[in-house]
Amino acid sequence: MNPILLLHGALGTREQLVPIESALQQSGYTTMSLNFSGHGQQPFSQHGFHVDVFAEEIMSFLNHHDLSFVDVFGYSMGGYVALTAAAQWPARFRKIVTLGTKFDWSPVVAQAEVQKLDPEKILTKIPQFADLLKQLHGDSHWKLLLEATANMMSKLGSRPTLDENTLGAIQQEVLVLAGDKDNMAPANVAEQVAQQIPFGSFQQLPNTPHPIERVNLEALMPLLRNFFV
């Protein structure tokens, strides 16, 4: 079986994917993961903080590990980055699964998301989320990451890297997954995206909101095992 590369979401790290990675390993798969620049203990890249930069980091990772091609599981932003990379370097990717990936970027949508990333509001209104970000990225780093992520979302709103033409050119088999309780990445949009990808398919996960920590593993793992064959 091909190795499966697991990619984390915005404001996340590879550690959040350990339950999924462990379940895949128990099923006999070889897995790998990485932290994008600016996340976890990784410094910010001198090339910037954007989906295109993260896509290039995937390629550097594959080259460093002498991997000709991989399968990919990308959560949220990780799925967006995976499809962006697959569109640019199609020979390096075989099958791709996205979960909870937001595709409907526009200036209005981006503005709404950016407003959620104010560190002072997070500290006041959802201190448990602030504690998680500090734990994942460090006391001195999490606010910088919020600012960088807000800027990236604004750019995506103005100029998404995945448009209809790009999606239509992706030749990999892609399984687009959406949680039935995901308020950030709507299932109807995910299904439309799957229809735009020539070899795309869509499935909805029951009892699954957006946070990866609350994914329904009992529903997810059979889908992954059936897809990554």
What domains are defined for the chain?
4-104+161-227 (3.40.50.1820)
Kindly compute the dihedral angle of the four CA atoms of residues 169, 175, 180, 186, in this order, to the nearest 10 degrees.
-10
pLDDT tens digit at each of 229 positions of the chain: 889 999 999 999 999 999 999 999 999 999 999 999 999 989 999 999 999 999 999 999 999 999 999 999 999 999 999 999 999 999 999 999 999 999 999 999 999 999 999 999 999 999 999 999 999 999 989 999 999 999 999 999 999 999 999 999 999 999 999 999 999 999 999 999 999 999 999 999 999 999 999 999 999 999 999 999 9
Contact between 36 and 10 under an 8 Å Cβ cutoff? The reply is no
pTM more than 0.95: yes
Contact between 18 and 213 under an 8 Å Cβ cutoff? The reply is no
Contact between 167 and 104 under an 8 Å Cβ cutoff? The reply is no
Three-class DSSP category at 228: coil
